[in-house]
Structure 1
């Protein structure tokens, strides 16, 4: 039994004693990364971590936990102990320390102890004795480095921490596919919990949210007694075709907090949420807006190095009402993709379906890469009807192994039909009608927010306050 499970058992037994009330543990709500340095160097010539600004941003977010990354030079470690931890304590914010794994050495090495994780465990525990709000630590991409983090070595790490502060939590970062039976049997008893980054595995995107509940419930079933902290991607995910949108991160967070309330998660910690205006990710460049007009479009994607099979698809479906007495019923829209005549045809096909039947289709190679307008007459097909279902989709006529496409639809005009949000400016209107068949073909309503950090932070602050 893990230390976490044992302590949880003791708490349950105590709660059953007469006169002992059972206290609920507050959910962890916070963010990880995006350290901000002060604008000007101090007398020592160093731009130190801007603890004051960061604490103000975390407080505005209603965060109760911050995961402090040990990246860059030694000043991060010094500033953590001397300035950030006291400031966070005064604001009622707990802190976890993030240390990078050996596989991340090309981009990130944690200093001063680098890849000596036994020393990291001991020194973080030592700092936590002076700063009780330092409550945990994590190793990023832990599951990719199990040759380093063998059970024997992890026992050395946890023993070093326990000798100083037995209450310090070790909660490494583990991806969904890495929770093998062997990992659960060998590693979970040694850990105090896990950080679980959600990326729609095995497809790795930041557009599709429907697999979240299934994965959370599976982990809750397979990891009883283990605290799982879900990590949404507020920062672009490598190898994903699109950056996360405000609507996507809000939806993942909202659903995750429902699982927290159900007892299936212990908390939510964003991955690199830009929570301060000084952060480079606070705004999004105009080039991120791929809509024809306005800020939104429907997007249909097959990513690079992704295998599909014939018949797979993803569609955006909407039920529409028919305008009484209309002599003509039609729908026009603009469509675009990045493929032209120089690419192989017969694989990806853009389609419009009426009541499940294809009424228009176009190969992604049939036109150039500019926006094209099409009008589809539905008058005869809708004779005598009072309602109908329209669906824009990307369909795989043949399977591919590595053939990227991102097809867009925008500026829909319905004649004789009633369709809300035809310009795709409100992602929530379209998200409920997304239908994915087969997995790696996915679709979404992509709505651009120039003030990404401010808009997302405001929405998450409300969710965190309610949590």
Structure 2
């Protein structure tokens, strides 16, 4: 037996022995949508998909998968077939095709087959036979359209596809709240996987990251035989108070890749990551920077049309050290909210706590929408102390049903206390100290990046390269 064959046999035997670990599949790492068109129209008068620019950028992003959207016109289909699939294959990139759901008809209808998903299944399977790197397809917002996608209809779709190419995967988009027992029993056995968009369900935001692991582990437990692909929002989520930041997407992606390595996820696919200078969302306007100075601030939010209860809160608790032999202790900071004196009082309250006790508070309705400075002398409370804990928080004195607020804190100055990143310019510095009680009140360190696409793509590319 030759040495290469012997090595292969030994590796195979070791891989199946109980208790012997083996390297896991690297999983899917990719991005979806954000098609880029050519700058100038061709002879047919159409600005076609700029395959060359996209492939160059996708390779730089270190993806192994791209989700190609059938975004509306007929040229997207011919561009996919004739140009994008061959170029992606040469670059070693697998392709999934994204088709719009019936509920998206106001904004999006995928052509040429529109809402005939049996035909989509058949034609994509046929195309995949001549382009083997077309390995899957998905329906966006699938779980909002289960009246269309009944088990009987999905069975027809899969039969049409599998008769031509049994390997082509159908991996629809399913939101966390829609993974009901009925869905798992009736739908999951018919699917080849699911794309799970993460938005801190049921709170719908792109700021809070700490519910990710819980939700991923729940799905892994409830869907043990289904591949789950996480979709972080790299693009603004409708009805969310804040746009995703570089630090947010990086944190979600990093944690998701840890779950891929642990076997809880089959991969990560960004939603509309801006990966070229012509991508939608590549840069952010200066008006997105809501810091008092610099680029960062603490943010405390209750979104519109969101119910809270008295006693809910979210707080930012940084690491604080006492200065040896200090004779005075004080803290000053600037705060601002988007309410004013005409807003109802007695609901949202801004607070600063020292060692768990409130030392300063102010109703969001007490000021106009402008930065205000607060200074609190802590000398009497800290003389002789060996430690101190500061916490800025938004507290619900009474519950609300629809009372949007966004409170900012910035430019912290301390006396007798040592605090890292007082200007809130590094989100990671603050992340470990964020805590919420109740759910719909959330907080984050919001750091503005004008060059959002370039900065984020570089970080995602590094994470993807590291596997």
Structure 1 residue 22 displacement after superposition: 7.6
In 2, the alpha carbon distance for the partners of 1:146 and 1:181 equals 14
In 2, the alpha carbon distance for the partners of 1:192 and 1:292 equals 49
* Aligned twin of 1:255: 255
Deviations 1:135-155 (A, max 9, x none): 000000000000000000000
TM-score by length of 1: 0.95
* Aligned twin of 2:285: 285
Q: How does 1:184-333 map to 2 (within 5 A)?
A: 184-333=184-333
Structure 1 residue 24 displacement after superposition: 4.4
In 2, the alpha carbon distance for the partners of 1:22 and 1:463 equals 22
Structure 1 residue 17 displacement after superposition: 9.2
In 2, the alpha carbon distance for the partners of 1:232 and 1:268 equals 8
Q: Is the 8 A contact 1:319 1:387 kept in 2?
A: no
Structure 1 residue 443 displacement after superposition: 0.2
SS of the residue 2:297 aligns to: strand
* Aligned twin of 1:3: none
Deviations 1:368-425 (A, max 9, x none): 1110001000001001112211000000000000000000000000111100100000
* Aligned twin of 2:450: 450
SS of the residue 2:365 aligns to: coil
SS of the residue 1:365 aligns to: helix
* Aligned twin of 1:169: 169
* Aligned twin of 2:402: 402
Q: Is the 8 A contact 2:24 2:261 kept in 1?
A: no
SS of the residue 2:121 aligns to: helix
Deviations 1:342-368 (A, max 9, x none): 010000000000000000000000011
SS of the residue 2:189 aligns to: helix
Structure 1 residue 323 displacement after superposition: 1.1
Structure 1 residue 326 displacement after superposition: 1.9
Change over 3 Å in CA distance of 1:132–1:23 after alignment to 2: farther
In 1, the alpha carbon distance for the partners of 2:291 and 2:56 equals 34
In 1, the alpha carbon distance for the partners of 2:22 and 2:166 equals 22
In 1, the alpha carbon distance for the partners of 2:106 and 2:336 equals 37
* Aligned twin of 1:28: 28
* Aligned twin of 1:133: 133
* Aligned twin of 1:45: 45
* Aligned twin of 2:438: 438
Structure 1 residue 49 displacement after superposition: 0.1
Q: Is the 8 A contact 2:26 2:261 kept in 1?
A: no
Deviations 1:255-287 (A, max 9, x none): 000000000000000000000001130100000
SS of the residue 2:149 aligns to: coil
Q: How does 1:148-159 map to 2 (within 5 A)?
A: 148-159=148-159
SS of the residue 1:96 aligns to: strand
* Aligned twin of 2:385: 385
Structure 1 residue 127 displacement after superposition: 0.7
* Aligned twin of 1:71: 71
Structure 1 residue 26 displacement after superposition: 3.1
Change over 3 Å in CA distance of 1:13–1:145 after alignment to 2: farther
SS of the residue 1:380 aligns to: helix
In 1, the alpha carbon distance for the partners of 2:22 and 2:86 equals 30
Q: Is the 8 A contact 1:347 1:400 kept in 2?
A: yes
In 1, the alpha carbon distance for the partners of 2:151 and 2:23 equals 33
In 2, the alpha carbon distance for the partners of 1:322 and 1:66 equals 51
In 2, the alpha carbon distance for the partners of 1:437 and 1:23 equals 39
Change over 3 Å in CA distance of 1:307–1:17 after alignment to 2: closer
Deviations 1:300-340 (A, max 9, x none): 00000000000000000023111122221100000000111
Deviations 1:436-462 (A, max 9, x none): 000000000000000000000000101
In 2, the alpha carbon distance for the partners of 1:459 and 1:24 equals 23
Deviations 1:43-75 (A, max 9, x none): 111100000000011100000000000012000
SS of the residue 2:256 aligns to: helix
RMSD of the alignment, in Å? 1.5
In 2, the alpha carbon distance for the partners of 1:14 and 1:183 equals 38
TM-score by length of 2: 0.95
SS of the residue 2:259 aligns to: helix
Deviations 1:74-122 (A, max 9, x none): 0000000000000000000000000000000011000000000000000
